Amino acid sequence: MTQRAKPPGDVTRLICNGIDATTGEYLVPPIDAHRLARVATGDRLAGDEIADLQNKSLQARRSSFTVVEGVDPNDLAQTGWAAVFPAVADDDALRQAAIRDALAPLLQHRRAQATAAADLYREYAGELGYRTGETKQQYLARLGAGPGPARPQKVPYYLLLIATPEEIPYRIQYQLDVHYAVGRIAFDTFEDYARYACSVVDAETGRARRPRRASFFGVANPNDAATRLSADHLVIPLIEHVATGHARHGFAVDSHLGDAAHRGRLVELLGDPPALLFTASHGMGFPSGAAGQRECQGALLCQDWGGPGAPIAREHYLAGDDLPTHADLRGMISVLFACFGAGTPTRDEFTRRALGEASARQLAPASLIARLPQRMLAHPAGGALAVVGHIDRAWGSTFLWIDAQGKAQPRTHLDVFESMLDSLLAGKRLGYAMEAFNLRYAELAADLSERIEQIQLYDEHYEDSELAHMWICNNDARNYAVIGDPAVRIPTTGEHAAARREPFTLRGDPRPGAPMSEDPHELAPRDADETRREALEPPSYGWFSKDDKQPGALARLGNKLGEVLSEVLGDAAVLEVKTYTSADLQSIAGGEPLQTSGARLRAYTRCKLDGDTEVCVPVTATGAVDEALWALHVEMVKQAQAHRAELLKTVLSVFSSRVGK
Amino acid sequence: MFELGGALAPALPELAVGPWRRAPGLVAFDTGPLESVWRVGLASDLAASRTALADGERSVARTHAALDDAPRRLERALEQLLPDLPPAARSDPADADLAGSRASSPGSEARDAASSLRFASPPESRLAWSSADREASRVPGEPGWLGGALDRIADLARGRARIETRVDGALVAHSLMTLSGDTQVWAVPRLSLAGAQLHARSVAIAVRTRHAWARILTLVVRGGARIAALGLPAAAIAALPVAWRIVRDALREANDRRTDPA
């Protein structure tokens, strides 16, 4: 890896990253630009999509904001956050409700953030869920929004799609992504949803912390132009960029390139994961419906493979099943540059249009989210925050800008990647960090549409390679997607260390005889044995179990009850009773402030835990004790004390089996 | 007349707890998301008012007695479900703190609820629910209803309580009590001693009822956690509905006893 590969001089041959698992050959042979040009001229977007993209492109040229003026895109209190479910039939409603329950810790966490200033938290389900067949604009219109930048009061900027790509198609995700920050999750089990939710909350509340390390893993298989280019013109420049630009943020950088980028090293990396993992490699592609496709489509082909034409063995690539069982991935964001790294659509647009097949080749029986990111997010020992990857094929055009007319040499063009990494390492939210990709897509799509219009309307001269390149770049930029919550972020230096200590909270260890803890962070560090053990055991459904990894409804209720009890204990030091008189009780009941209601404080009692008590007794105009009022006040003090005693008794009864045994 | 209103009340399950009946229209103008309104409407006849309050007090007492019995019902249901399990594995010592001295056999619905855990989906169809789970969760008819209802109960238990006492429709006193017991009381300037006593008793009934809701939540969550911890197929999903039905049966039976002509 001492000498970098030269960018290809032949701009009429376009290469993508993807290897056929059965043949060891490229998934798509290098494509002739003349054929792609014809594809491009026939591939026009719908009118409203063009308008939306042009709007976005124009907006990008004018300013840097992605939501309406005055909204900080990194502050959820201003941007809002929404969970988007598909509208489902009654039979699936129960399943959806259970998913929602499993995600409760995350939903509660986001609700608290998105309602800090105003109520900008939404759950779009049922009637407000996405309906099959709707376009993006039709759906947004139903939610009360239109084309243009996100207006959080109408629809929040951060949207988490909780749906398989069959329920909410990738096409809708791409289009929503133009103006919104969009991510997606879909798992096979409720436990996976619950694990992901808890992992995100753990990472964002400082319960799980990752070392401030960015790791780069760049494969360069022998005789393979694609990975040689990605290693030399994507990974190495990014390492240099991050190493020089982010040392001030306390980020250490490690690199694993070429011969060092073997599968075993990647497994080691995931066993001690960094905050940011960037990989560039081929992604595995399987024939539609083939054995192994569901588990291994998009798996990362490592340096172990001998290059094009060489046979591929299972041990050459890393799939979801290969994650170390003890890997605690909480707090990690991964960027996987590889074909199908994030998912696979049902139909293959590239080959259908470019290679002239009569009908679209089926890539998979149903659209897939790649198993590797799914497993990373829902890992039993702790899930990653999110994975950025490619739906369908990844092309070198993302980082290698080719002069469409062939008048200049191709050159490395990493602005979008650098922008994304800069944002992430500076603590920006992932969905916002992805804006660079979205802007690129919007600009390229708008340019392509305009160019095609000129050609078709005015018969302007064009080069095949020009249109082919624009078309590939456009589709390539569009297909980057976030698997995970788009609002996740890597914390800034010392963020959690400086964070306010959480209020006194009782947390019980479900194991018999285990002590109670007052410190919510005490359980944070997990030793290797513990995580290994937990990975092998089924999730605990215990009362206030460690890490809150309970089934959704139980977890939510347990947490809520914990809040209730913590509030009781937190306020137990002082009891205060005030008695007022007012000639206009109705206005006070109606909410009029005390200052303007004419209410008079007549009696006051303040009891401290240590026995100190302050009492003010009401007297009449003659100086005598107002007996009726005093009787009422004394009775209320008694009731307040009794109420507190009852609640404390409940607290003790709840915890006695955990503390007193 | 005992009415429960405020933002939380309409979402509460159809379950009689104490003497209160839901009054969806009863909303104070400053009611926030975590405030309930408890209105006691009394007549000018002092004796009739005292009788009404005494009835209310007895009703709350019956509710608490039923809740005392709920842990035992859970025990019985688990015994029937898992006869081979050692008692130590089923029992929760904390139940003794919450349980009273009365004992009764669990209702048939509780047995059915517990046994529904047996008929779970096979592990390979992990997202599918058994028909028994569906039935248990659909109380009283909508998916996710139970989770939402328990959420509201938790909000009710921790939110402020606004308790109003009205005599012949006129507001004579009202109190605001937070979860921790801090209280503000407003009364008309020349409140009589009898009027003061009426309001104090109204507050006591409301607060005791709120405490009953807190106990219901505690019992359901703890019961659900214990069922889930048994590791039965589908227990993770059906645990809460089953625990809910056991507590609900206990309360219904208490109400039935009250309304029995005998």
Nearest to A589 among B174, B207, B235 (CB): B174
Query: Tell me, what amino acid is at A657?
Result: S
Each domain of chain A, given as residue ranges in start order, spans: 13-484, 507-569, 571-659
Name the minimum distance, in Å, from the CA of A645 to any CA of chain B: 9
A581/B225 Cβ within 8 A: no
Query: Tell me, what amino acid is at B139?
Result: V
Which residues on chain A are in Cβ contact (under 8 Å) with B220?
A: 557
B231/A538 Cβ within 8 A: yes
State whether residue A599 is helix, strand or coil. coil
State whether residue A351 is helix, strand or coil. helix
d(CA B249, CA B237): 20
CA-closest candidate to residue B181, choices B163, B200, B198, B161: B161
pLDDT attached to residue A235? 93
Name the minimum distance, in Å, from the CA of A283 to any CA of chain B: 29
Name residue, tokens 């976030």: A482
A581/B187 Cβ within 8 A: yes
d(CA A230, CA A476): 15
pLDDT attached to residue A528? 43
B147/A101 Cβ within 8 A: yes
> With the C-alpha atoms ordered A78, A83, A84, A88, is the resulting torsion angle positive or negative?
negative
pLDDT attached to residue A484? 97
| Average pLDDT, integer, range B125-130 | 28
Band (pLDDT 50/70/90 cuts) for residue A80 is very high
Continuous segment of H or E residues that includes residue A47: helix A47-62
Please count the CA atoms within 13 angstroms of the CA of B8 that sit on its side-chain side. Answer: 26
Does A306 or A403 have the greater pLDDT score? A306
- Looking at this predicted complex, what is its ipTM? 0.72
Name the minimum distance, in Å, from the CA of A155 to any CA of chain B: 22
Q: Which residue of B has its CA nearest to A551?
A: B236
> What is the side-by-side order of every strand in the sheet holding B170-177?
A613-616, A600-608, A574-581, B183-187, B170-177, B160-167, B35-42, B2-6, B21-22
Q: What whole-number percentage of chain B has pLDDT above 70?
A: 61
Name residue, tokens 């008819």: B141
Which residues on chain A are in Cβ contact (under 8 Å) with B222?
A: 543, 654
The set of residues, in sequence order, having a beta carbon less than 8 Å from that of A354 and lying 6+ positions away, is A28, A31, A35, A36, A39
Name the minimum distance, in Å, from the CA of B256 to any CA of chain A: 27
Residue A40 scores a pLDDT above 70: no
Band (pLDDT 50/70/90 cuts) for residue A368 is very high
Joined tokens for residue B5 = 């209103």
B172/A541 Cβ within 8 A: no
CA-closest candidate to residue A232, choices A221, A245, A242: A221
B184/A567 Cβ within 8 A: no
Continuous segment of H or E residues that includes residue A124: strand A121-124
User: Which string of b and e fits A184-217 if b means at least 16 CB within 10 Å?
Assistant: bbbbeebbbbbbbbbbbbbbbebbbbbebbbbbb
d(CA A242, CA A252): 9
d(CA A453, CA A469): 17
What CA–CA distances, in Å, run from A484 to A162, A299, A373, A545?
9, 18, 9, 24
Mutating which of A568, A639, A658 best tests the B interface, going by the most B Cβ atoms within 10 A? A639
The CA-CA-CA angle for residues A409, A413, A417, to 5°, reads 160
pLDDT in tens, A572-612: 667 888 888 887 777 666 655 555 556 778 888 887 766 67
Long-range contacts of A138-147 (CB under 8 A, 24+ apart): A139/A172, A140/A176, A147/A48, A147/A51, A147/A52, A147/A55, A147/A179
Band (pLDDT 50/70/90 cuts) for residue A629 is confident
pLDDT in tens, B51-79: 999 999 998 898 888 888 888 888 887 77
User: Which string of b and e fits B192-230 if b means at least 16 CB within 10 Å?
Assistant: eeebbbbbbbbbbbbbbbbbbbbbbbbbbbbbbbbbbbb
Q: How many CB atoms lie under 10 A from the CB of residue A282?
A: 33
CA-closest candidate to residue B241, choices B143, B154, B133, B148: B133
CA-closest candidate to residue A65, choices A144, A157, A171, A127: A157
State whether residue A659 is helix, strand or coil. helix
Residue A160 scores a pLDDT above 90: yes
Can you give A86-103 as a three-state secondary structure string?
A: ECCCHHHHHHHHHHHHHC
Which residues on chain B are in Cβ contact (under 8 Å) with A568?
A: 179-180
d(CA A642, CA B207): 10
d(CA A590, CA A285): 66
| Average pLDDT, integer, range A117-124 | 91
A543/B225 Cβ within 8 A: yes
Which residues on chain A are in Cβ contact (under 8 Å) with B185?
A: 577-580, 632-633, 636
Q: Which fold has domain A13-484?
A: Rossmann fold (3.40.50)
Name the minimum distance, in Å, from the CA of A554 to any CA of chain B: 6
Q: What is the mean pLDDT of chain B?
A: 70
Nearest to B179 among A101, A568, A657 (CB): A568
Q: What is the mean pLDDT of chain A?
A: 77
The DSSP code for A232 is I
B28/A591 Cβ within 8 A: yes
Let me know how long chain B is. 262
Band (pLDDT 50/70/90 cuts) for residue A478 is confident
Query: Tell me, what amino acid is at A644?
Result: R
Angle between the A90-102 and A104-114 helix axes, to the nearest 10 degrees?
A: 70
Please count the CA atoms within 13 angstroms of the CA of A72 that sit on its side-chain side. Answer: 9
d(CA B63, CA A10): 83
Residue B262 scores a pLDDT above 60: no
pLDDT attached to residue A627? 83
Residue A3 scores a pLDDT above 60: no
Q: Which residue of A has its CA nearest to B230?
A: A541
Which residues on chain B are in Cβ contact (under 8 Å) with A554?
A: 221, 224-225, 228, 239-240
The DSSP code for B1 is -
Mutating which of A561, A575, A577 best tests the B interface, going by the most B Cβ atoms within 10 A? A561
d(CA A483, CA A485): 7
Joined tokens for residue A436 = 């660079």
Out of A219-228, B80-89, B178-187, which region has the weakest mean confidence (pLDDT)? B80-89
Contacts across the A-B interface (CB distance below 8 Å): 233
d(CA B126, CA B3): 44
| Average pLDDT, integer, range A136-140 | 93
CA-closest candidate to residue A196, choices A430, A404, A381: A381
Q: Which residue of A has its CA nearest to B224?
A: A554
Which residues on chain B are in Cβ contact (under 8 Å) with A625?
A: none
The set of residues, in sequence order, having a beta carbon less than 8 Å from that of B113 and lying 6+ positions away, is B77, B136, B241, B242, B245, B246
d(CA A289, CA B126): 22
Q: Which residue of A has its CA nearest to B228?
A: A541
Which residues on chain A are in Cβ contact (under 8 Å) with B89?
A: none
Are the C-beta atoms of A243 and A255 separated by less than 8 Å? no
Each domain of chain B, given as residue ranges in start order, spans: 2-254
Q: Residue B140: is the preceding peptide bond cis (ω within 30°)?
A: yes
Residue A266 has φ and ψ, to the nearest 5°, of -65, -40
pLDDT attached to residue A542? 28
Nearest to A628 among B164, B178, B196 (CB): B196
Joined tokens for residue B193 = 């001693």
pLDDT attached to residue A524? 39
pLDDT in tens, B9-45: 665 666 678 888 876 555 444 434 467 888 899 988 8
Out of A487-491, B208-212, B217-221, B225-229, which region has the weakest mean confidence (pLDDT)? B225-229
Q: Which residue of B has its CA nearest to A635?
A: B200
Please count the CA atoms within 13 angstroms of the CA of A135 that sit on its side-chain side. Answer: 11
Nearest to A632 among B30, B164, B200 (CB): B200
Which residues on chain B are in Cβ contact (under 8 Å) with A631?
A: 193, 196-197, 200
Residue A192 scores a pLDDT above 80: yes
